[in-house]
Amino acid sequence: MNMKIKLFMGFGILLVLIFALAGVGMNRLTGTDSSIKEIYENRYQKVRISTQVRNDAAELAKGIVNLLLIDTDDSDKKNAEAVKTLSGKVMQGLQQIDTFSKEGKERELADEVLLHGNRFLDYKDQVVRLNQSGRQAEANALRTSVGIELQDKFTHSMGNLTNYHDEAMDAAISQALNDNQQTLTYTGLLTLAGLLLSVGIMLWILLGFTRGLSVLSAMLKSFASGKWGDMAYRVPITSNDEFGKLADVFNRLADDLEQATASERALHRMNEDTLWLQTQIAHMYAMLEDSRKVEEMAQTFIGELARIVGAQDGAFYVLKQTASGTKLVLAGTYARSESTAAAELPLGEGLVGQCAKDGKPIMIEGVGGDYGGIRSAFGELEPLTLTVQPVEYDDEVIAVFELVSLKTFSELEQKLIKQTSENLGVTLSALMGRLRIEELLRIHQALTDELQTQSEELLSQQDELKASNEKLEEQTRALRASEEQLQRQQEELEQSNEALLRKTAELEEQVRETEEVNRQIELAKEKLEKQTLELALASRYKSEFLANMSHELRTPLNSLLILSQLLKENKERNLTGKQVEYAETIYSSGCDLLKLIDDVLDLAKVESGRMELHEETVCLQETAESMRKTFGPLARSKGLSFEVDFGGETPGQIQTDSGRLKQILKNLLSNAFKFTHAGSVRLTIRQLAEPRPMVAFEVEDTGIGISPDKQQLIFEAFQQADGTTSRKYGGTGL
């Protein structure tokens, strides 16, 4: 029998025992729960109600006594109310007793309670009527002759019923305790039998595992000794159970491990090669990172790479544009002086030139003594290995390097040469780009210095011309005395003076223009940089503010729209027509406000400075009615007269953006009501014929008005007629 069947049998029997114990426990818990529910809902509640009725009856008797003995208006009213309340409680308790009382003795005791309770309540009603009619003496006599006896009988019957329920509750609790004790006894016996059976099953399974573990121990010892690869240490198979199968698996595993070990050694060597390759590449990059010149980087690269791969000679060429075309220029060598290598090579000449032209590496191995027919960077080569590798960036060759060795490069060294050339392309291109930028900066600085020198020369010439002008003026004053004799010479001198003045003015203008251009360039540059930073910061703040305020604005507005919609529908029909009209106005204004918020939050519209118009057919009568509903309540609250008139032959419909039209009218009417304290506000809609056919919307009010010098100002964005900090009326001026 295999271990799986043994385990299934053993644990199956244990599960049966566990479920049996669980079933007994759940059955007992269910019975206990039913007993507790019976004790609480049937017995305890009955005892509580009986006790409560008994106490209420005693309080009712006390209230009757107080009603009869204390004779004041306040006490009579208070005691009568207390008697009425307690009577209701007693009557309610009697109804509950009548409801839950069953047959047998309980029913007899309940009937007795109901009989005496009803008599006691009848007696109470008689006493209350006598007291209300002012016959307190008869009421006291009734209480003495009949009331005390009825109260005692009612109280005694209630005590009998309470004692009966107390005894029944004690009997139920005792029965529940006895049932629990029997359950504990049966459960203990069943548990003991289950434990004995479990011990037997465990011993049976344990013996099977012990034999199998001996086989497993022999396997582990073989692994620990490291002799699992020897056929003499294979585990013998002595059984057909799982441990026998495990021994067979172990024997096959030993065979597989021999093969896996060989593969692991090969993978380990591959990982070591990869680690070496990455380490050398990182080392090369770190050394090249601090280079500031192309020659310095080339010398460092060819020298370090030759030392790593074991090359004896090396040269590094960089492609440069010359007057005669693109050439390879020697930038660095290793183990030889630059005089023994070609200083320049045209594309396609020699192995180096051909490699730069094709963009493909060239490798020659086992070259014999007759190699002299092939020219390298150093001339004729002895038997050796030659490698020429291009350096590319963006699929373009920017440099070529050559390595010469007396041994054959391994595959790992060839990978290193290829990958370092790829990394060098990026580094060398970045360095050359940086050097070109520095050269352009030097040229720009030289041009700036030259311009400054020319400006200084112009200023010097201007000073000289001023001095010449002063001398000519002195000569002119001296010659004026002999004007008649030297008239012709005077005219010539004046012409020369005018020419000099024009030249001086031209030079001064050129100097001023040059200085102004330079100053404007610097100011424009500084202003643009500052504006760029300010615009970026303002745009970010605006975007963040509008995004954060979106939900803050919409949440209360949506609540307002929902509530006004509910009021407008008036499903309960409890609002007047005017209130429904107000609700419609609130809902319409809220929708308009939501559209405005959408426009404000549309960053594209705000930044572009425009609003898109959506033309549609607009009914002027509906527009006028909307304005009347919106501002009618405001006019009534301020005591103003609000009129909407149609003048002349006004059309019924026009084509325009309804939302923008209402927005403008609401802004104008809001300002009219805001600045008007008495009088009227009028909205007139009429047809105009000149300068072209159109519909005019005119808003007039009897408010404070706008002074003529401010009428153009208020149409500017965020401007008001009174924009001082002490202004009376608030607002943004939008």
C-alpha to C-alpha distance for 5 and 204, rounded to whole angstroms: 12
Q: Which residue bears the tokens 């107080």?
A: 66
Indicate the residue type of 23.
G
What pLDDT, in 10s, does the model give residues 118-163?
A: 887 887 788 778 777 777 788 778 777 887 888 788 788 888 878 8
Is residue 309 within 8 Å of residue 348, measured between CB atoms? no
What pLDDT, in 10s, does the model give residues 304-334?
A: 998 988 888 889 999 988 777 888 999 888 8
C-alpha to C-alpha distance for 416 and 281, rounded to whole angstroms: 7
C-alpha to C-alpha distance for 354 and 348, rounded to whole angstroms: 4
Give the model's pLDDT for residue 136. 77
Is a pLDDT exceeding 80 seen at residue 281? yes
Is a pLDDT exceeding 90 seen at residue 546? no
Q: Which of 16-20, 598-602, 680-684 has the highest average model confidence (pLDDT)?
A: 680-684
Q: Identify the helix (H) or strand (E) that includes residue 681.
A: strand 680-688
Q: Residue 163, Cβ neighbours under 10 Å: how many?
A: 13
What pLDDT, in 10s, does the model give residues 624-648?
A: 999 998 898 889 998 999 999 987 7
Q: What is the mean pLDDT of residues 198-209?
A: 70
User: Where in the chain are the domains?
Assistant: 3-199, 290-442
Question: Contacts for 711-716 with beta carbons within 8 Å, 24 or more apart?
Answer: none
Is a pLDDT exceeding 50 seen at residue 354? yes
Phi/psi at 661 (nearest 5 deg)? -60, -50
Q: Which of 144-158, 334-348, 430-444 has the highest average model confidence (pLDDT)?
A: 430-444
What is 201-231 written as a DSSP string?
A: HHHHHHHHHHHHHHHHHHHHHHHHHT-TTSG
Q: Residue 219, Cβ neighbours under 10 Å: how many?
A: 22
Q: Residue 682, Cβ neighbours under 10 Å: how many?
A: 16
Give the model's pLDDT for residue 548. 63
Q: Work out the pLDDT band at 40, boundaries 50, 70, 90.
A: low
The β-bridge relationship of strands 641-647 and 680-688 is: parallel
The reported pTM is 0.34
What percentage of the chain has pLDDT greater than the value 90? 8
C-alpha to C-alpha distance for 96 and 113, rounded to whole angstroms: 12
C-alpha to C-alpha distance for 418 and 422, rounded to whole angstroms: 7
Q: Which residue bears the tokens 């594309």?
A: 347
Q: Which of 99-108, 183-192, 382-391, 399-408 has the highest average model confidence (pLDDT)?
A: 399-408
Given 1.10.1740.10, 3.60.20.10, 1.20.120.1730, 1.10.220.110, which CATH number is that of 3-199?
Answer: 1.20.120.1730
Is a pLDDT exceeding 60 seen at residue 227? no
Give the model's pLDDT for residue 391. 92
Give the model's pLDDT for residue 224. 64
Q: Work out the pLDDT band at 232, boundaries 50, 70, 90.
A: very low
Task: Give SS3 for 481.
Answer: coil
Helix residue ranges per DSSP H, 290-403 = 294-309, 350-358
Give the model's pLDDT for residue 235. 57
Task: Give SS3 for 424.
Answer: helix
Q: Give the distance, in angstroms, between the CA of residue 702 and the centroid of all CA atoms in the same chain.
A: 53
What pLDDT, in 10s, does the model give residues 452-462?
A: 888 788 788 77
C-alpha to C-alpha distance for 432 and 671, rounded to whole angstroms: 68
Is residue 696 within 8 Å of residue 668, measured between CB atoms? no
Phi/psi at 321 (nearest 5 deg)? -90, 120
What pLDDT, in 10s, does the model give residues 548-579?
A: 666 567 667 777 877 888 888 888 888 888 88
Give the model's pLDDT for residue 372. 39
Is a pLDDT exceeding 80 seen at residue 670? yes
Choice between 347 and 489, residue whose per-residue pLDDT is larger? 347
Q: Work out the pLDDT band at 67, boundaries 50, 70, 90.
A: confident
Give the model's pLDDT for residue 678. 92
Give the model's pLDDT for residue 370. 47
C-alpha to C-alpha distance for 437 and 321, rounded to whole angstroms: 17
Q: Give the distance, in angstroms, between the CA of residue 380 and the centroid of all CA atoms in the same chain.
A: 70
What pLDDT, in 10s, does the model give residues 385-430?
A: 889 999 988 888 999 999 888 888 888 888 888 888 888 888 888 8
Please state, rounded to an integer, the average pLDDT across all residues of the chain.
78
Task: Give SS3 for 399.
Answer: strand
Give the model's pLDDT for residue 146. 80
The order of strands in the sheet holding 641-647 is 641-647, 680-688, 694-701
Any idea which of 89-103, 136-150, 248-262 has the lowest mean pLDDT? 248-262
Q: Which residue bears the tokens 């007291």?
A: 131
Per-residue CA distances from 590 to 560, 584, 614 (Å): 7, 10, 20
Choice between 56 and 716, residue whose per-residue pLDDT is larger? 56
C-alpha to C-alpha distance for 111 and 90, rounded to whole angstroms: 15
Choice between 733 and 507, residue whose per-residue pLDDT is larger? 507
C-alpha to C-alpha distance for 372 and 597, rounded to whole angstroms: 87
Is a pLDDT exceeding 70 seen at residue 218? no
What percentage of the chain has pLDDT greater than the value 70? 77
Given 3.40.50.1260, 1.10.230.10, 3.30.450.40, 3.40.50.300, which CATH number is that of 290-442?
Answer: 3.30.450.40
Q: Identify the helix (H) or strand (E) that includes residue 42.
A: none
Residue 47, C-beta contacts closer than 8 angstroms, at least 6 positions apart: 162, 165, 166, 169
> Judging by beta carbons within 10 Å of its beta carbon (0-12, 13-18, 19+), is residue 424 exposed, middle or buried?
buried
